Structure 1
Amino acid sequence: MIGRPEPAQSGWRALTPDITPLLDIIFIVLVFLMLTANIPLQSLEVDLPKTDSKALSSMQDNKAMTINLLAGDPAWALQGEQYADWENFKPVLLERLPALKEAELVLASDREVTVDNMMKLLAFLQEHEIQATQILMEEGP
């Protein structure tokens, strides 16, 4: 007569299910959820003033200084005087540093200006503790 083989383990351990695969799946899902969770991005908040164009045009010319960032060969301008590159423009800024600190500073940039030119100017202003009171921007097309 053919009999059934006896299990290697007897008793209550032979009757309990093996939960190792279930734990593996739970850990995989947990790792997946942790990796795809929304991580808050670090960002710099900028508070832009809400002004209309009339307020910009009513600024007094004797108290305001304008720095232009231009797209093209003369990349910089201060009060309408153009300078070809940063090495020529920085000494002019240093020369007029006391006037820049006292005046209302307006930054005007073309749309095609590279970010590194804007960052050079903002780093210079921050280094010398000059606060730009207005940044002029064009509206989108």
Structure 2
Amino acid sequence: MICSKKSLDEEGLSPDLTSLMDIIFIVMVFLLLSANIQVQTLTVSIPKAQSSSELGSADDSALAVTVTADDERWGLQDKVFSDWDTFTAAFTVAVKHTPNRPVIIASDKQANVEKLLKLFEFMQQHQIHATHIMMKGPNQ
């Protein structure tokens, strides 16, 4: 095969940029790893309890919401819902039916925190106020 010889001007005047590119990539990786990433959070204002009160027997006038450990199931009163959309529809209907009815939230100990926060976010968007959150006391 016949090849033409490169002229000296092309070889002699072009610098080798390999090491410069290596340094640029190292600096880029360092800057990407050290950059502050904005974390999106949901602010939930939880008032401090003045006193601890025990919740006795189930109050028929209160609306009980149950957060289960199963990701797919939600509870409202004595009914179990298999998905979020049907639960929220039933929850909003129950709240609109009796708007001054107190809401009690009972969460399973093994329930995911994200699931509880999802409920809090829904309640905050629809201006539903929970009057009680059931918790296990330190002596129980």
Pairwise same-fold verdict (TM > 0.5): yes
Q: Cα distance 1:75–1:52, how it changes in 2: closer, same or farther (>3 A)?
A: same
Flag the 1:74–1:126 CA change in 2: closer, same or farther, 3 A: same
Assess, with a 3 A threshold, how the Cα gap between structure 1 residues 82 and 45 changes in structure 2: closer, same or farther. Answer: closer
Correspondence for 1:46: 46
Q: What runs of 5+ residues in structure 1 fail to find an aligned partner?
A: 1-42
**Distance in 1 between residues matched to 2:75 and 2:57, nearest whole Å:** 22
User: Which structure has the larger Rg over C-alpha atoms?
Assistant: 1
**Deviations, residues 31-59 of structure 1 (Å, cap 9, x unaligned):** xxxxxxxxxxxx86633322232xx2167
Aligned residues: 96
Shift of 1:97: 2.7
Whether the 8 Å contact between 1:64 and 1:103 is mirrored in structure 2 is yes
Q: Structure 2 length as normaliser, TM-score? A: 0.58
- Give the corresponding residue for 2:76: 78
Cα distance in 1 for residues equivalent to 2:135 and 2:97: 24
For 2:99 and 2:68, locate their aligned partners in 1 and report how far apart those are by CA, in whole Å. 22
Select 2:88's aligned residue among 76, 87, 90.
90
Q: Give distance in 1, aligned partners of 2:96 and 2:103.
A: 12
Unpaired segments ≥5 residues, structure 2: 1-42
Instruction: State the one-letter code of the partner of 1:75.
Output: R
What is the deviation of 1:84? 1.4
SS of 1:125's equivalent? Answer: helix
1:115 aligns with 2:113: yes
**What stretches of structure 1 move > 6 A for 4+ residues in a row?**
none
- Counterpart CA distance in 1 for 2:114 and 2:80 is 18
Are the aligned partners of 1:70 and 1:113 in contact in 2 as well (CA < 8 Å)?
yes
CA contact (8 A) 1:67 1:107 kept: yes
Structure 2 residue matching 1:90: 3-state secondary structure: helix
Fraction of identical pairs, as percent: 27
Specify whether residues 109 and 101 from structure 1 end up closer, same or farther in structure 2 by C-alpha distance, changes over 3 A only.
same
Amino acid of the structure 1 residue aligned with 2:122: F
TM-score w.r.t. the length of structure 1 is 0.57
What is the CA-CA distance between 1:75 and the residue it aligns to? 2.2
Q: Give the secondary-structure state (helix, strand or coil) at the position aligned to 2:70.
A: coil
